[in-house]
Structures are given as C-alpha cells and as structure tokens.
Amino acid sequence: MNILWLLVLIVFYHGTSSNGVVTNVSNRPDVVNVGAILSHLSIIGKVAKVAIEAAVDDVNSDPDVLAGTKINLTMQDSNYSGFLGIVEALQFMEKDTVAIIGPQLSVTAHVISHIANELQVPLLSYSATDPTLSPLQFPFFVRTAQSDLFQMAAIAEIVDYYGWKEVIAVYVDDDHGRNGIAALGDKLAERRCKISFKAPMPAEVNRDQITDVLVKVALSESRIIVLHTYAGSGPDVIKVAESLGMMGVGYVWIATNWLSTNLDTDPQLTSDATENFEGIITLRMHTPDSELKRKFVSRWSNLSSGKSINGAFGLSTYGLYAYDTVWLLAHAIDAFFNQGGIISFSNDSRLTELKGGSMNLDALSIFNGGNLLLKNILQVNMTGVTGSINFTSDRNFIHPAFEVINVIGVGYRRIGYWSNYSGLSVLPPEILYTKPPNRSSANQRLNSVIWPGQTTDRPRGWAFPNNGRQLRIGVPKRVSYLEIVSQVEGTDTFKGYCIDVFTAAVNLLPYAVPYKLVPFGDGRNNPSDTELVRLITTGVYDAAIGDIAIITNRTRMVDFTQPYIESGLVVVAPVRKSNSSAWAFLRPFTPGLWCVTAIFFLIVGFVVWILEHRINDDFRGPPKEQVVTVLWFSLSTLFFAHKQNTISTLGRLVLIIWLFVVLIINSSYTASLTSILTVQQLSSPVKGIETLISSNDPIGHQQGSFARDYLVEELGIRESRLIPLNSPEEYARALKDGPHGGGVAAVVDERAYVDLFLSTRCEFSIIGQQFTKAGWGFAFPRDSPLAVDMSTAILRLSESGDLQRMHDKWLTRSACTPQGTKLEVDRLQLKSFWGLFVTCGFACLLALCIYLILMLRQFSRHSEELEPSGRSSGSGRVQTFLTFIDEKEEDVKSRSKRRQMEKASIRSTGEDESTHSYSSKRRHMEANSIKSLDISNEV
C-alpha cells in the first residue's frame, strides 16, 4: 500500500509541462460537484454519512444559501482502505469536483492532501484530527473539527491536575497515533510530566497482539495509561486489559474521544461492555447547547432510521461537525460566486505526457478557482450546530473545548470541561468566555471521579513493576562516624542512623519495595556523596541513602526526600578557660564603650552646669569649686546619688534623658559582669568563619564532604589551605597541633558529625554560629514518585516521635561540657548603645541651643546697661556677653529694675520744669489781657 501511494506521488511531481483549458461554466451554475470520502460501515462513517446527506438536503432546499445553485454530492466508501481513498480522490478530480469532504482517517489525509495541493481542490475533513496536518505543508487541507493537539493538551492538564508525573501511552502505530502521542509528550513536558513508556499497536490488531502490548505495560512502573486508538479497536484493548486485571484499583485509564464516540453512537451497549469501561476518563469535543443543535438532535432518529442493518445508532460529535462542514462549504461557495468566481478547470501540465495509459491520469484537472474558494472557506464566520465556526490564523477553530467524562456503571457523567481559554472547570466554557482568563491552579477544578475498582480515592498513579527486579540503592561505605552508617563487617548488611530511618520509612509505605543495598566506596576513605548522587543519573543506582546533604548542585541531578535531620556547616576550634583577674570588672565593656561613657558623663555634667549656673546657687562659686561640682554631679548620677537640685526646665529635661541612659548602661553592665564572674568562660583565638576567611591558617574538613567545595567556591578560600581529614582522631590531632605545628586552626564540618566529635572531647568547641542551612535526605531519580511517598513516610516518623527516638539512639552521647560553661561571649560594644548616646547628645545640643537663644534675647535687652560708652567693638561685645551670662540672674534683674527706676526719676524731673515754664507764660498772658481791658475802659 505504501508503494502505491509513493507511486502516485511520483507521478504527480515528476511530470512534464503542457497547457490546455477545459470547459468554462457560467458564474452561477445550476450544480456544483462536491465529493465525500468516508467509511460507510465505521462508527464515525455511518453517522457522518447521514449527517452529510441531511446537510446537503437542507442546503439545497434553502434558496437563500446558494441562490438556486444545488450541491451535487458524490460519496465514495473507502472501506478503511487508504489505497481506495487515494483512488476515489483521483476519480473525483476527473469529474470537475470543486471540493472534497473527508477523508475520514488522518493516514489517508496525509496522502490525499498532496493531490489536493497539486490540483488546488480544498479538502475539508471533520475527523482527520492529526495535529501534523499543517497548513504550511498542506495548504488545501482544512480541518473542520478540533485538532488532537488540544485534546492532548486537555489530557496533560488532567494528569497535572491530579498530581501524576508519568504516563504510559498505548496507541495505534500510524500517523494518527504516533503524531497524537508526540503532541501529548510535548504538552506533558510543559508541565514537567512525561511519557515513561510507549506501547504501539498495529492498525489492524488482534487479541494476541493486544495481550503482548498490555503485558509490557503491566510490567512498567506507571499506572496512568492513555489509550489513543480508533473507535473500532479501542473496546478490544479495554476487554483484554480487564482480563489481565488492569482495570482494578490503582490503575487510571484516560481514553481519547474514540470512547465518547462509541458511547454516543451505540447507546445500547451491552452491560458487559460498559462494565469494562467502568472508571475510565474520556474526552468529547464540546458543542454548546443551542436551538440549532436541539432541532438537529430531535431530527436524528428520523434521519438515521433504517440507515443501518445493525439497527438505530446515536449521534456523535463527529456527525455534528460533518453536518456543519457542508454548511461551511456552502457559505464559502456562495461567497466565491458573489466575488465573481467561476468554476473552470485546466489540464495539469505535468500530467500531459502520461496520457494514454490505463490509469488515465491526464484526465485530472486543476481547479482554477481553488485559491479563491479556499480563501472564502477560511473567512467563513457562521453559527452552526457545533457553535461558532470561525478559523484562527493557524486554521484551528476559536476557543477549542472538550468535555471530561467519567464512565460509571451502564452510563457516564460529565465531571467538567477543558478549554484552551481557561483550562479545567466545572462551568461550561461559553460562560467563562465572558470573564477574564484565569489559568491559576486554584481555579482549575473537576468534579469527583469513580476510578477503576469503584473507588473514589485518587490513585497513586504508579507501582513497582512485577518483573522481579530489585532497586539497587547505593550506600556510602564510611570509615568514620560509623554511627551514621556503616557496613557490618563480613556481610552485605548495613547499620546506623540513616539505615534505621530508611527502613522505618519503607515499612510505612502502603506497598512492598524490593531493594538491595549496594556499598559505594573503597573502605579506606570516606566516599564523595556528590559522585554517589551522580551515579543515579547514569543508571548505576536506582537511589542512594546515607548522610547525603541536600545542596544546590545535587538537587540539579536528582530529587531528594524530605530532610530527616537538620545539618549545616559549623567551625570547630580549640578553646581554653578564661581565668578571672583583678581587672575582670572592666571586661563587660569594650575600651571604646568605656571612653564614650566617660566622655558623656563629663558632657552631661557640663551642659547641666551651663543651664543651671545663672539661677542655681548649687552651681555657683569659685572656679575650682565649680569644676569639682561638675565632676561630682556627673559621676554621682551613675548611682542616682546627686545632691544638687536642678531648677531650669532645660536642665531637668537633659537630666531625665541622661538618667534613663545611665539606667540602661547600669543594667547591662551588671548582667554582663554577673555572667562573667559566675559562669565558666571559654575563649578561642578563632571567633568564627569570618576569622578563618581573613587569615591564612590551614583549615581542616572531612574527606568527601561538600564542605571543601563550599569553602572554595562560595567563600573564596584558597584550596591550598584546606586539609582533608578522615576520622575524629585526625580531627583532634590536627586541632591540638595547631596551624604552627603542622595542624589546622579549625575544622569546618556538618553539625551532626561535630556533635558526635565533641561528645567526648571537651577541649574543643563550636565557634560562632552555623553558617549554612542544609539537611540530609534520600536521593532518587528526577520525578520519581517514590521520593514523594518516602517524604510522606518521613513526616509521619517525625510526627510520631520515632525519628527523634532513632536520633537519640545513635547520635546522642553524654556531653562532656558541664552545665554553666560556655564560650566567651562578645563584650558589650558601643554599637549596642549608640542610639541612647545619640539621643542624649541631641537633647544636650537642643537644650544648649535653646538656652543660647534665650541668653541672646536677654542680652540684647540689657546691652545698654552693660556696655559703657565708647566700647562697642566686637571683642568687647563678646567679653560683655560672657560677663553677662556669668552673672547671677537675680543680679541682672535687680540692676535692670534699678536702671528703670532711675529713668523714671529723670523723666519726672523734666516734667516739673516744663510745668513751671508753662505757668509763667500763662500768667504773663493773663496780665497782658487785663492790661488791655483797662485801656479799653479808659477810652
């Protein structure tokens, strides 16, 4: 069959050139020829045949569609044969066919599309859903149903929704099956899921072949099976799976829309068949409810009556899309005629030299209006029984959507929808189209499912394969800290803390885990855990357990379980006891803090003296006495025993703030001194990892530990300074020798090992804080479901207290360090109190500024009283101001009052002299007046 297809393609593409024009028909012919290729007896074909015939009758009886032009439909039965489909397509090309509806199968569509491209005849298929039928390769192929690309996207979202990571693909091994599963693999990869096993089947498969395939599937780990086949062979696969016990609890079957097609087309399925389908999830192309759809569905029983020798059959979504395909083509042909298109055909120049043969290939013609008709097909915007029909730029329908169906008993129920717009939901997609798209995980939802085995519990999705193979689990063969993990000498068994945790976790799993512990290492040096993890990626080991720290570069290679112990890097160094001395009382504060505190005592005393000097007799007197007063007052505030009273508001404000500072300093000093004198102190020249970074001393680390890489790559310490050590004894010897005796200044190691090391060695201690956060976990391959289940088991061990009991059994030893002994703490530093000192200093400065402003204002009012005539120079004015502020305020006020009285007396004397002059003048005027009257009388 493949040879014949190839022959046909060679004939088309290697002909010679010649031209000729055949008949030209009028613009609006009475009839247009349309072909249809389908398998009449198939589940899809028998429904499509009835739907297409009904659509042609409806179009021809509607004068508004083609304005009197009728569609002349010619149907050919390919009978499941790709070869017959090719021959029938060639026959259509001999009859001036303007378009072909079909073919039914994607395999046939791949070949016929080449013919359509050559002769420019649009090919409209309602059932060839292969996503690789690309418009770039096949421009004249138009899919009038939903592509399998979206169906596979829906399946991938369902898998991710339930938290599964791996699926098994069982599919028919042809273009339809292979390309659909390839699309599924791409969509799963987008969600960090994958197809773990592919199980192809022949297109014409028998029971024995199905059994062979499913036996391999049963031996695989995953229990999520995606079945992508045809409606005819799908039930046979399910039946064999039932006989093999693969439809029970733990399995998940997701069938593509072949199953929903079966259920819709044959509603009278036997109870045995529906029992086989129990618990399966399948998809159905979603067609929204509408009046057009309801009317067509109501007509279906009459349309399909008597059409099949096997009795009545139901209407599937393929029938709806086949019906709309005819209407889509009719609208496109009508637009073609409206744009002036004419139906005319030309001879194919490349077939000219082939004429005369028995195949009569020279009769094939090119449709001259094919490009215009194709353009109108893609521009159709109509509403049919399947909803809105409108193509996107990549020739897919807008808003592709599927229904998610769960088969239950003798029927099925819809548990939700999937759409390319909003993902999984329990609401119909057309409702969500009116809202903004929301693909968040919280918005994804499906109703409850009855899974195979009649259970509502979500299956785990995987199980250990029944192939007798044990998991090879690598275990580091340590030579030190054997409490962690060690191999029992002379045997293949292991013991230790890590082994107990692993065994307890495995025992909590709801299934058996066959495994074998395999030692890793030479037994002379501690092995590299990073190398052990890497060997998982190469397949040497299936997992690794032991003291494996979860660090960044390892998580890039494998998946880890939940940490079962917290651990991080710490610094271990020799310590010595700090003996008490006669000057121990000075140790709570650093020298800087002592100096700043003393300076502030003097500053506060001086500020208070300035603020109180003019009004408070306690702060006046001879200069020597005033200096003693300032010193005594400031130091006595340390004990709150100052006898001088403060009178001014500003002085009291400064004093209150200073007393609060003194209270804090007193309390801190007392607490620190008490700790120093009552608790045994340990000291070390190493203060933490910062000391090691800044020095050039050698540093020890455990052989095989990640500490070496961390110190070099993260902290920038030279590799030449790092000394590998293998055992606790080497730790102790190197630390005692010290950096100048051939040893090390400190050892950097994980906390769990250090705790064991220090449990019997009192002369060493952890210095500083733990400077990394990490934990130990068990390593498994990427996306291993066993890692998730083991994490759950570890959490259960932690909640029950068993994890702590195992820790105490192996890792807890009697500490040699007695109670009440600790490392020398850092002395109290200035930075711990700078806020208090800044506040106090600001209060002093503010008080002085306010006081200075007040003094300047007061000085300006009394400046005339203080400055003698002829002494107005700058230096003289400053000296006068200093003299003014040194005076007691009562003296200033008294002098000011006396001066005011003097001014008042002078003013009174001046007024008396003025009054006497006025009286004399008045008496003189009165005398002159009397004299004038006397003269007048005489006259």
Q: What is the 3-state secondary structure (H, E, C) of 846-891?
A: HHHHHHHHHHHHHHHHHHHHHCCCCCCCHHHHHHHHHHHHHCCHHH
Q: What is the rounded end-to-end Cα distance, in angstroms, of the chain?
A: 173
**Residue 649's closest CA among 843, 456, 497?**
843
Pinpoint the alpha helices (H) of 867-888.
874-886
Tokens of 236: 């046979």
Residues 6+ apart with CB under 8 A from 861: 896
Reduced to 3 states (helix: H, G, I; strand: E, B; else coil), residue 143 is strand
Instruction: Quote the CA–CA distance of 781 and 541 in Å, as a whole number.
Output: 9
Distances in Å between the Cα of 865 and the Cα atoms of 390, 632, 883, 930 are 103, 36, 12, 53
Helix axes 785-800, 497-508, angle to 10 degrees: 100
**Residue 445's closest CA among 420, 428, 425?**
425
Instruction: Quote the CA–CA distance of 269 and 231 in Å, as a whole number.
Output: 13
DSSP for 663-678 reads HHHHHHHHHHHHHHHH
Residues 6+ apart with CB under 8 A from 769: 570, 688
Angle at 759 between CA 757 and CA 764, to 5 degrees: 65
- Tell whether omega for the bond before 728 is within 30 degrees of 0, i.e. cis: no
Task: Walk across the sheet containing 680-683 and list its strands.
Answer: 576-578, 680-683, 821-823
Instruction: Quote the CA–CA distance of 314 and 931 in Å, as a whole number.
Output: 153
Tokens of 221: 């780990």
Identify whether the C-beta of residue 175 lies closer than 8 Å to the C-beta of residue 131.
no
Helix axes 43-60, 291-304, angle to 10 degrees: 110
Instruction: Quote the CA–CA distance of 708 and 725 in Å, as a whole number.
Output: 11
Tell me the three-class secondary structure of 569-589, residue by residue: EEEEEECEEECCCCCHHHCCE
**Residue 145's closest CA among 466, 519, 395?**
395
Residues 6+ apart with CB under 8 A from 919: none
β-partners of residue 71 are 32
Identify whether the C-beta of residue 192 lies closer than 8 Å to the C-beta of residue 783.
yes
pLDDT computed for residue 914 by the predictor: 52
> Beta strand pairing status for 576-578 and 779-780?
unpaired
Task: Note the residue count of the chain.
Answer: 939
Instruction: Quote the CA–CA distance of 166 and 461 in Å, as a whole number.
Output: 8
Instruction: Quote the CA–CA distance of 677 and 393 in Å, as a whole number.
Output: 84
519: left (phi over 0), alpha (psi -120 to 50) or beta: beta
Residues 6+ apart with CB under 8 A from 295: none
Q: What is the DSSP letter of 427?
A: S
pLDDT computed for residue 656 by the predictor: 77
Buried b (16+ CB within 10 A) or exposed e, 598-628: eebbebbbbbbbbbbbbebebbbeeeeeeee
Identify whether the C-beta of residue 319 lies closer than 8 Å to the C-beta of residue 51.
yes
pLDDT computed for residue 844 by the predictor: 79
- In 356-509 the beta strands, taken as DSSP E runs, fall at 365-367, 382-384, 387-389, 401-408, 411-419, 423-425, 471-476, 486-487, 494-495
β-partners of residue 474 are 518, 544
Tell me the three-class secondary structure of 284-334, residue by residue: EECCCCCHHHHHHHHHHHHHHCCCCCCCCCCCCHHHHHHHHHHHHHHHHHH
Angle at 74 between CA 71 and CA 75, to 5 degrees: 130
Exposed, middle or buried by CB within 10 Å (0-12, 13-18, 19+), for 880?
Answer: middle
Distances in Å between the Cα of 195 and the Cα atoms of 287, 602, 684, 792 are 30, 81, 58, 25
Tokens of 124: 């409209």
Tokens of 757: 């090391």
Q: What is the CA radius of gyration of the chain?
A: 50
As a whole number of angstroms, the longest Cα–Cα distance in the chain is 181
Tokens of 606: 């001086």
Sign of the alpha-carbon torsion through 343, 347, 348, 351: positive
**Global pTM?**
0.67
Amino acid at 169: A
- Report residue 348 CA to chain centroid gap: 58
Tokens of 23: 């008949």
pLDDT computed for residue 232 by the predictor: 86
Neighbours of 648 (CB within 10 A): 20
pLDDT computed for residue 815 by the predictor: 56
Instruction: Quote the CA–CA distance of 724 and 736 in Å, as a whole number.
Output: 16
Instruction: Quote the CA–CA distance of 400 and 816 in Å, as a whole number.
Output: 72
Along the chain (939 residues), what's the average pLDDT of each consecutive run of 10 residues? 40 35 57 90 91 95 90 86 72 81 89 88 94 91 95 96 93 94 96 93 92 92 94 91 92 95 78 76 95 94 79 89 96 94 82 58 79 95 94 91 90 93 93 88 91 92 76 93 90 93 92 90 89 94 94 93 92 74 66 80 77 67 72 70 68 77 78 65 73 90 89 91 91 91 92 88 84 91 88 94 92 58 54 73 80 72 54 60 62 65 66 52 51 40
Tokens of 250: 């733990």
